[in-house]
Structure 1
Amino acid sequence: MTVTSTCSALALTLTLFGSGGAAAQMALFDAADYGKAQFPARESTGDAARYIAAREGGAFESIAELAPADRLAQQARPIGRIDMLIRNRRTGEEGTSACTGALLGGGLVLTNHHCLPQEGEIEVLQASILMDYLTLDGRASQRYELDPKPLDWNADLDFAVARVPAGTPSDSFGHVTISASPEGVGTARVVIHHPLGKPKVMSRFRCMHLADRSFDPFVAHRCDTLPGSSGSLLFDDRGIAVALHRAGGLTPDDPSSFNTAVDIARILEISPILAESIAAQDAAPAAPADPADPTTPAARDTGQTGLSTNQMNDILRGE
């Protein structure tokens, strides 16, 4: 499922990115929103809202509903929302964009290149990753500044490895486990992401990797996403990330449609920094923070008992 978000600053969206970037799933907001946990609901809804409303359970499941010790809750801990203050070099217009990113350990973060672009008209003025954003008010979330110039990136494979210049968030939130296996295990997938810049959710209902390898180095998948999902990872049955989501294309009324991701194995072939980071993880795995420890973010009281699936879908619809 994909939808194009129509912000109040639609003209800004069009002048900043043009029509060619419509498939890239970045969520766009006003420049004044940068640094906030909760972005104002300025978008209008379309097919995604109808799709969710027509299906009682909905497509997205809130991570906040999971017990801290739940395997999927632990798997989701290194996933955060990447916020960028961006400017069009040609027009001077500014805006805020949101994607999803993952902690690699050692102060490194993986996301899409189109989220932290180093080519073209868009310039990233500031960037940060917001961790533990589980409830709409952002209570207990933590923000870490990112260097807007990635250590490694590739426009064709649409990946960027950015650096946290101060602090090591993986000490608190752990890191994702990445595999060079192009197929992963099974076809079922889980995507953990921040659609529309909202609190962290997962897609796993009918979320699957398609066996067709003719799109290499890309992977076709049928996991529901929205703008803001760019930079999220596809996890296999072992909880290992095997692909990096990059663009929409899936529609509810077309069974042959699909979204696209980048095969992690192809990224590892050209990124020594990512390969070295994974080798370091294999040599000394970073255990996630103990959810029973009251000082860890997973164990902190958010003041809520969690959101139901319907409540989460109401949030995504802006209600």
Structure 2
Amino acid sequence: MPQLIRLAAALSLSLAGMAAPAQEGPAAFDPADFGRIVIQPRQSTGGPVLEQAFGNYQNEPVIGYGAASPVVRLGRPVGRLDMKFRDGKTGFCTAFLVGGGHILTNHHCVPGMDGDPGGADSGLAAAQLVLGYVDPGNVERVEIFEVAPEIVETSRALDYSVLTVRGAPEDRYGIMELADADPESGEFLWIIGHPQGQAQHISREGCAAATPAVSREGKLMHSCDTLGGNSGSPVMRLTDKRVVGLHHAGDSRSGYNMAIPMRAILAASTVLQAAEGTSAPPVSATRDEGAQCSTLWREARSMGCAGYEAYLDACSSHVFAGMARRQVARECAAAAPAPAPTVSGALVVDAAGRGGYTDLAEAVHAAPEGAVIEVFPGTYRGGIEVRQAVSIVGRGAPGEVVILAEGGPAVLWSAEGGGLDGVTIRHRDGRSVAVEVTRGALTLERVTLDSDGLAAVRLRDDRGSVLRRNDVLPGAARGFLVEGGAPVLEDNEVRGARVAGLEVARDARPDVRGNAFRDGRGSGILVTTGGAGHFEDNRIEDNALAGIELVGSARPDLRGNVIRGGGQSGITATEGATARIEGNRITGTAMAGVEIREGAAPEVFGNDIRDGAQSGIYVHSGGGGVLQDNHIDGNAFHGLSVKGKGRLIVRGNTFRGNVHAAIRIREGGGGTYEGNDLAGNTGGGFVIEPDAGTVLRQGNRE
């Protein structure tokens, strides 16, 4: 904090008349290093220093926070931009993914464009974006994407350029969210980038906006430590991790660093305005929401019943909400005849007052064992607790029957039977779950779950629940959390879960068939210590971490699943996990198709593992098991990479079209290799390094 005080004092005296320092080109490197991951920068010559440290340099390696840390996940869209110019010069900066196949960096990073009045000629002969360069000791996980040399959009005055990156990296690495707002004075910030071309670093200690945050010249002033190569780094506010500035310069004469406010760039950029992830600041959002609710209230008064219902759905806590509810109860009940139950003897719940109940919780409390409760369109506020076996059935089009709960679970279930069918559950409480089965059995079918909680559905002491054809919307930490019993999960779709689409824990043994787990920010399926079960014919696509992650699992059966894309491995087995992995198709993963480490020993039989960005199977750090009858084709590294001690049997596998060798063994790795077909790989059959352990080979075809 003394840094910030010193900075604020200096700025208060000198901001008004101070000119911004001139900008220099990107830090240079040896042209022979272009295309490599580890490169050595050359010392810049002449010109002002554009980045600097304040006091003790505190720009820390991201890997120091741990490979699975939130910092590493936050920095996934941030990469190193390596450039080779037609005049023989080189340079690197930082750039980050912003959506639409585009990256954002500084204008001064591609100075060749200054000679072209139209701004289309960057002067680049070649460029690449290096993503995933976090651990300098493990470059197998790094990916390189081609960057088109043509400029999409640029501004010398605002020092930004937008370029096109090929290969759709945002599908696996995500994008940075841009904020159309300046940070508050003194607000804490983070900067993630590649100083001096090194592996990813973060500046966070003493990193804050100045007072005022934005100078009269329109620069975002900050005290974050940076070095050459940080140009083009995103400046993020700590509160929501959205990008508030594009770092571009520093000046040792005045003792501060500078960024271009993202608000100014967004105002000038037609490309970024259309990109995904742009967001307004929370304060403005609150004001906008209030204005929208006032508008909806005025419309509701002219439209009548339908207008009041729409207003209440969107604005349940607005100032006129109580008046709207009374209006609905008084006027709308007579506007239509009472709904007729479709099941003889069913209890009827209708928000407009046309049935036996207007409150769902009251109907549940009054219902006898085995009753049917028919719920007609409307929004029913507050959670329900179900202790007797009743069937709650929504009677309306999708989205018309809504259970809305804030501050606790929407459904708390302890009955030994019954279920929910055809309703929408909206749950707003990050500390609880939308539907929780504490014990008993629940049939949940055709339910839309919209939750920001710990899980959309949590099954604790399960006695035979069935979850079928449900739709889990993005927002919950977990789509389904199964902590006991053997429930059936069938034909559900889970999108955008923050931790896992499905987490199986403790001694749970679920039967999971035909589901889709996709676009999550964590793993598609996570099976932790003691968890098992049967997982068959599921589609697991484009999750930020592993498709299926097995951590100390007790031999789950993974069979016939399709795993595509994703930010890490298709299947990861670790911490002594066992499993039967058979007949799965794993394609296009950012890391290994199957990764085995830390004492895990799965049986991997008859899988099709192809077209991954690294090795097909990666066994390391004491991993082992049996690999048999797999087809491992077209992966960008090796078919099988083995290092570190572990007991491994590799038998009857076929390796084709892998970019390097079929099998590479090193650093104490060993095992038994027999009857494998290793022909047709670019790097040959076996590569056994001098530091490999004991390798037994018999009957392999090379």
* Distance (Å, rounded) in 1 between the aligned partners of 2:279 and 2:260: 21
* Distance (Å, rounded) in 1 between the aligned partners of 2:126 and 2:154: 17
* Deviations, residues 54-99 of structure 1 (Å, cap 9, x unaligned): 95xx512222233444322211110000010024xxxx4x122000
Is 1:143 the counterpart of 2:129 in the alignment?
no
Give the superposition deviation at 1:246. 0.6
Give the superposition deviation at 1:281. 8.1
* Deviations, residues 86-141 of structure 1 (Å, cap 9, x unaligned): 24xxxx4x122000001112211011111123113972221110000113353311
Give the superposition deviation at 1:280. 7.5
Aligned to 1:120: 115
Matched-pair contact (CA < 8 Å) for 2:191–2:236: yes
The 5-angstrom pairing of residues 276-291 of structure 1 reads: 276-278=274-276, 288=521, 289-291=543-545
Aligned to 2:63: 64
Matched-pair contact (CA < 8 Å) for 1:84–1:128: yes
Aligned to 1:169: 169
Aligned to 2:247: 245
Amino acid in the other structure paired with 1:291: L
Which structure: larger Rg? 2
Aligned to 2:101: 107
- Cα 1:31–1:187 change in 2 (3 A) is same
TM-score, normalising length: structure 1: 0.73
Task: Give secondary structure in 1 for the equivalent of 2:196.
Answer: helix
Matched-pair contact (CA < 8 Å) for 2:178–2:279: no
* Deviations, residues 142-200 of structure 1 (Å, cap 9, x unaligned): 11111122211111101011112x31101110110110012269611100000000100
* Distance (Å, rounded) in 2 between the aligned partners of 1:244 and 1:109: 12
Matched-pair contact (CA < 8 Å) for 1:24–1:247: no
Amino acid in the other structure paired with 1:64: I
Is 1:274 the counterpart of 2:262 in the alignment?
no
* Distance (Å, rounded) in 2 between the aligned partners of 1:116 and 1:287: 35
Amino acid in the other structure paired with 1:180: D
Amino acid in the other structure paired with 1:196: Q
Aligned to 2:159: 158
* Distance (Å, rounded) in 1 between the aligned partners of 2:277 and 2:270: 10
- Cα 1:206–1:23 change in 2 (3 A) is farther
Task: Give secondary structure in 2 for the equivalent of 1:27.
Answer: coil
Matched-pair contact (CA < 8 Å) for 2:188–2:209: yes
* Distance (Å, rounded) in 1 between the aligned partners of 2:41 and 2:255: 28
Q: Which has the higher helix share?
A: 1
- Cα 1:183–1:279 change in 2 (3 A) is same
Matched-pair contact (CA < 8 Å) for 1:184–1:242: no
- 4+ residue stretches of structure 1 with deviation over 6 A? 279-282, 301-304
TM-score, normalising length: structure 2: 0.35
Matched-pair contact (CA < 8 Å) for 2:28–2:43: no
Q: What fraction of aligned residue pairs are identical, expressed as a percent? A: 29
Aligned to 2:83: 84
* Distance (Å, rounded) in 2 between the aligned partners of 1:60 and 1:191: 9
- Cα 1:32–1:203 change in 2 (3 A) is same
Matched-pair contact (CA < 8 Å) for 1:184–1:236: no
Q: Which has the higher strand share?
A: 2
Give the superposition deviation at 1:215. 3.8
> 1 or 2 for the larger relative contact order (CA 8 Å, sep ≥6)?
1
* Distance (Å, rounded) in 2 between the aligned partners of 1:217 and 1:178: 18
Aligned to 1:35: 35
Aligned to 2:654: none
* Distance (Å, rounded) in 2 between the aligned partners of 1:100 and 1:172: 19
Aligned to 1:261: 259
* Distance (Å, rounded) in 2 between the aligned partners of 1:266 and 1:244: 10
Give the superposition deviation at 1:298. 4.8
Give the superposition deviation at 1:279. 6.4
* Distance (Å, rounded) in 1 between the aligned partners of 2:22 and 2:520: 38
- Cα 1:41–1:233 change in 2 (3 A) is closer
Matched-pair contact (CA < 8 Å) for 1:25–1:227: no
Give the superposition deviation at 1:290. 3.0
Give the superposition deviation at 1:203. 0.5
Which segment drifts farther, 293-302 or 137-146? 293-302
* Distance (Å, rounded) in 1 between the aligned partners of 2:265 and 2:520: 25
* Distance (Å, rounded) in 2 between the aligned partners of 1:188 and 1:201: 17
Alignment RMSD: 3.4
How many pairs align? 268
Give the superposition deviation at 1:297. 4.3
Matched-pair contact (CA < 8 Å) for 1:210–1:222: yes
* Deviations, residues 175-232 of structure 1 (Å, cap 9, x unaligned): 1011001226961110000000010010011111113333443211111111100000
* Distance (Å, rounded) in 1 between the aligned partners of 2:41 and 2:264: 37
- Cα 1:168–1:123 change in 2 (3 A) is same
